Chains A and B, each alone.
Chain A
Amino acid sequence: MTAMNTRGTEQVVQDKVAAMRHAARPPEGGPGASGLRSRLPGLVVPVGLVVLLACLPLLDLSLPGVLPGATYTPGTLHLLALAMVMAGAALSYHLLFGVAGLLSFGHALYFGLGAYGLGIVMEGLGLGLVPAAVLVLVVGLVMATLLGAVSLQVTGIPFAMVTLAFAQAGFVLVRKNPGKLTGGEEGLRLPTDYVPDWLVGVADTRNLYWVALAALVLAFAVVTWVQRSRAGHVAEAVRENELRVQVLGMRPFLVKLAIFVAASVIASGMGMVHLLLNSGAVPHTLSAEFTISLLLMVVLGGVGSRWGAVAGAFVYVVLSQRLAVLAQSSAIDDLPAVLRIPLSEPMFILGTIFILVVMFLPGGLAALGLRVRALFSRRAAAPPEDRSGTPGALVQEDDQQR
């Protein structure tokens, strides 16, 4: 416990120093410009991955057991696009939970706001896709600022409950179908008249896939930028020791609010892509279970790691789809009831995996990746140090990876 605290304090000092250096840097230099060349080799893998993902709709690859069909088929593209949308949402949750240490149970509210808001604005005001999207983002920004300012009056577990209550209010509102705007339990259908033709219909799934990929790349870039900005550094410091940051003369509230708003706006953006992808929005996107699934992805991937959040989302989405298919199969049907019932419930298996990860693999997939890498590299002499499992320790490692 004490070791963890000292490390946390060191982290605060490091962050403070980093923030001061950042401030001292001449403005015209721009952050990152000088470090770009040294970072270039590190960019090869992500850029390659994005190019590969972008080419998938044109290729005929199959991964039996993982993907439902060849990569150019609409079913597979839809699943992958869904995984990318969820990865973007998980990244925004990473910003809240992994960076700022804010455990929110109401993040779905902003995702749902994006999905429902876009549909309602297009239908109600007769706006085109782009102006409507901008308007919804502005609404999301205002709402996140207001609700965030109220919720951030408290910290820790009470904060989790307050955000949960706000999201629950939104969930109830959407299901009540006020003014026949949201479609109640049935959900909202995408008003296709206002959407460009190339984004509608099953044949155009690959266009939606590219939109989802672009949204994910954008979300990743924005999250990286926020995390490396001064606000991001201070937020990490606040997570480790709020009082100390206050003593240093900074205002934790404003920084946390900024992170909260940024995460909420990104979530709204991903919600809009979700609306286009599924040709509609359902109340589930505002529910507590939805937020919990984001939390699941982030923890599965490894708290504090951006790549972890993305990987966690892909694993979660693909696994829940495959497990649902598996549940229907005859192999499961023939088992005795004791095995059949648990195995035919995807959420039971995912929940169990989640518990096991929390208990036995605190760093999630990211830590697993690091361990595997350590096994293969010569530096195996320095195995991954004792993992305390706090977001702080993990973020620190994420930073060292850069």
Chain B
Amino acid sequence: MSTVILLAVTGVGLGAIYFLVACGLSLIYGLMGVLNFAHGVFLSLGAFLGLEVAQLLGASTWTGFAVSLLVGALAGAVFAAATERILVQRLYNRHIEQVLVTVGLGLAAVALFDGIWGTDPRFPRGPSWLGETTGVAGASIPNVVFIAIVSAAAVLASIVLFLKHTRYGMIIRAGVENRSMVTALGIDVRTAFTLVFTIGGAAAGIGGVLASHHFGYVSPMLGQTLLIFAFIVTVIGGLGSLIGAAVASVLVALLQQFANFYLWGTGDFAVVVLLALVLLTRPSGLMGRKA
């Protein structure tokens, strides 16, 4: 029983990290129809800068950890906003080219990180509490899992509040629903484009700092590895659906954890099979709108 609880809670923790990457992807796709292949490098940049800042301020203090989360979010947000303004916006409405540009940026940025921080993984240190475990019904859960879950829940809640209760949130929701109508009403959707990139980048940056503690390392490839699972999550959840992404993240991560433990390490395959099944039965994903 304690094994099941351990797997379930760590699964939700992994799902939290997937969600932090996938929510940005899903929002960006929903509003702009762009599949952002550079999303993983927002995460890696957040993780690396967070690590550097934490080392400057003392890695084992809570201040250092909190500031590293903040810096990670900022780094992701700034990088993402710059990407949107400089590269993506110039290719307005040319979706394939927009995807290609993000692919190129992903390649170039990973290579640049290789050059700056080296290809070998680096190991972040955090407050000692993060490395300890807490007993839940007989299972000892690593504390970093709780931080991941709480942060992802906070990010989800703030994005939902932002979308529901602010003017720009309304524009974004309306844009996802029907972009040409919003444009026809005289609203400049481009600000909304930059905004979703910024929000997605910030979430990915936070995800980067948390992922570095969760997996225990940072490497230039970390982001792109997580990105593939985030893609799967967004497709299963339904492209453009935030809640769908949240549900699918947890589902995918749980499936992965349980299959890895009970089905001889076949977690990654189970996820691909789930993807195939979802696509065959519901091509638009669990919560996506009918195409």
Residues on A close to B: CB < 8 A? 1, 103, 150, 153-154, 157-158, 160-162, 164-166, 168-169, 172-173, 176, 288-289, 292, 295-296, 299, 341-342, 344-348, 350-352, 354-355, 358-359, 362, 389
Task: Looking at the assembled complex, report how far the CB atom of B44 sits from the nearest CB atom of chain A, in whole angstroms.
Answer: 14
CB atoms of B272 and A168 under 8 A apart: yes
- Within 8 Å by CB of A165, from B104, B232, B265, lies B232
Q: How far is the CA of A214 from the CA of B269 in the complex (A)?
A: 37
Is B49 on the interface with A (CB-CB < 8 A)? no
Task: Looking at the assembled complex, report how far the CB atom of A173 sits from the nearest CB atom of chain B, in whole angstroms.
Answer: 8
- Within 8 Å by CB of B87, from A103, A288, A359, A362, lies A359
Q: How far is the CA of A241 from the CA of B115 in the complex (A)?
A: 44
Q: Which residues of A contact B276 (CB under 8 A)?
A: 150, 162
Which chain A residue has the least Cβ–Cβ distance from B115? A341
Which chain B residue has the least Cβ–Cβ distance from A154? B283
CB atoms of A345 and B111 under 8 A apart: yes
CB atoms of A346 and B100 under 8 A apart: no
Is B94 on the interface with A (CB-CB < 8 A)? yes
Task: Looking at the assembled complex, report how far the CB atom of B155 sits from the nearest CB atom of chain A, in whole angstroms.
Answer: 23
CB atoms of B231 and A165 under 8 A apart: yes
Q: How far is the CA of A344 from the CA of B87 in the complex (A)?
A: 24
Q: Which residues of A contact B108 (CB under 8 A)?
A: 347-348, 350-352, 354-355
CB atoms of B112 and A341 under 8 A apart: yes
CB atoms of B268 and A172 under 8 A apart: yes
Q: Which residues of B contact A169 (CB under 8 A)?
A: 268-269, 272
CB atoms of B112 and A161 under 8 A apart: no
- Within 8 Å by CB of B228, from A288, A342, A344, A346, lies A288
CB atoms of A359 and B91 under 8 A apart: yes
Residue among A157, A165, A295, A351 having the largest count of chain B Cβ atoms under 10 Å: A165
Is B280 on the interface with A (CB-CB < 8 A)? yes
CB atoms of A161 and B107 under 8 A apart: no
Which chain A residue has the least Cβ–Cβ distance from B234? A161
Task: Looking at the assembled complex, report how far the CB atom of A390 sits from the nearest CB atom of chain B, in whole angstroms.
Answer: 8
- Within 8 Å by CB of B93, from A1, A164, A299, A351, lies A1
Q: Which residues of B contact A348 (CB under 8 A)?
A: 107-108, 111-112, 115
Q: Which residues of B contact A346 (CB under 8 A)?
A: 111
CB atoms of B90 and A345 under 8 A apart: no
Q: Which residues of B contact A173 (CB under 8 A)?
A: 269
CB atoms of A168 and B268 under 8 A apart: yes
CB atoms of B231 and A164 under 8 A apart: yes
Q: Which residues of B contact A362 (CB under 8 A)?
A: 97
- Within 8 Å by CB of A345, from B106, B115, B280, lies B115
Q: Which residues of A contact B232 (CB under 8 A)?
A: 161, 165
Between A and B, 17 residue pairs with Cβ closer than 8 Å are A1-B93, A157-B239, A165-B232, A168-B228, A172-B268, A176-B265, A288-B224, A288-B228, A289-B107, A292-B103, A345-B111, A346-B111, A351-B109, A354-B108, A355-B104, A389-B94, A389-B97
CB atoms of B272 and A166 under 8 A apart: yes
Q: Which residues of A contact B4 (CB under 8 A)?
A: none
Q: Which residues of A contact B275 (CB under 8 A)?
A: 162, 165
Q: Which residues of B contact A176 (CB under 8 A)?
A: 265
Task: Looking at the assembled complex, report how far the CB atom of A282 sits from the nearest CB atom of chain B, in whole angstroms.
Answer: 16
Q: Which residues of A contact B188 (CB under 8 A)?
A: none
Task: Looking at the assembled complex, report how far the CB atom of A104 sits from the nearest CB atom of chain B, in whole angstroms.
Answer: 12
The 3 closest A-B pairs by CB, nearest first: A351-B108, A351-B107, A347-B111
Given contacts A341-B116, A345-B115, 9 further A-B contacts (CB under 8 A): A150-B276, A157-B95, A164-B228, A165-B275, A296-B104, A296-B107, A345-B111, A358-B97, A359-B87
Is B12 on the interface with A (CB-CB < 8 A)? no
Q: Which residues of B contact A347 (CB under 8 A)?
A: 107-108, 110-111, 114
Residue among A150, A173, A344, A345 having the largest count of chain B Cβ atoms under 10 Å: A345
- Within 8 Å by CB of B29, from A103, A157, A389, lies A157
CB atoms of B101 and A355 under 8 A apart: yes
Q: Which residues of A contact B96 (CB under 8 A)?
A: 103
Is B99 on the interface with A (CB-CB < 8 A)? yes
Q: Which residues of B contact A161 (CB under 8 A)?
A: 35, 231-232, 234-235
Task: Looking at the assembled complex, report how far the CB atom of B207 sits from the nearest CB atom of chain A, in whole angstroms.
Answer: 19
CB atoms of B99 and A157 under 8 A apart: yes
Q: Mark B217-233, 1 if CB is under 8 A from A, else 0.
A: 00000001000100110
Q: Which residues of A contact B234 (CB under 8 A)?
A: 161
Q: How far is the CA of A362 from the CA of B224 in the complex (A)?
A: 26
CB atoms of B100 and A158 under 8 A apart: no
CB atoms of B283 and A153 under 8 A apart: yes
Q: Which residues of A contact B112 (CB under 8 A)?
A: 341-342, 345, 348
CB atoms of B279 and A162 under 8 A apart: yes
Residue among A1, A153, A164, A166 having the largest count of chain B Cβ atoms under 10 Å: A164
Is B8 on the interface with A (CB-CB < 8 A)? no
Which chain A residue has the least Cβ–Cβ distance from B277? A150
Q: A158-B283, A359-B91 are in contact. Are A165 and B272 (CB under 8 A)?
A: yes
Which chain B residue has the least Cβ–Cβ distance from A101? B96
Q: Which residues of B contact A103 (CB under 8 A)?
A: 96, 99
CB atoms of B103 and A153 under 8 A apart: no
Which chain A residue has the least Cβ–Cβ distance from B275? A165
Which chain A residue has the least Cβ–Cβ distance from B271? A165
Q: How far is the CA of A161 from the CA of B246 in the complex (A)?
A: 18
Q: How far is the CA of A288 from the CA of B239 in the complex (A)?
A: 21
Which chain B residue has the least Cβ–Cβ distance from A358? B100
- Within 8 Å by CB of B114, from A150, A160, A345, A355, lies A345
Task: Looking at the assembled complex, report how far the CB atom of B285 sits from the nearest CB atom of chain A, in whole angstroms.
Answer: 8
Q: How far is the CA of A358 from the CA of B276 in the complex (A)?
A: 32
Q: Which residues of A contact B99 (CB under 8 A)?
A: 103, 157, 160
Is B243 on the interface with A (CB-CB < 8 A)? no
Q: Which residues of A contact B109 (CB under 8 A)?
A: 351
Q: Which residues of B contact A351 (CB under 8 A)?
A: 104-109, 111
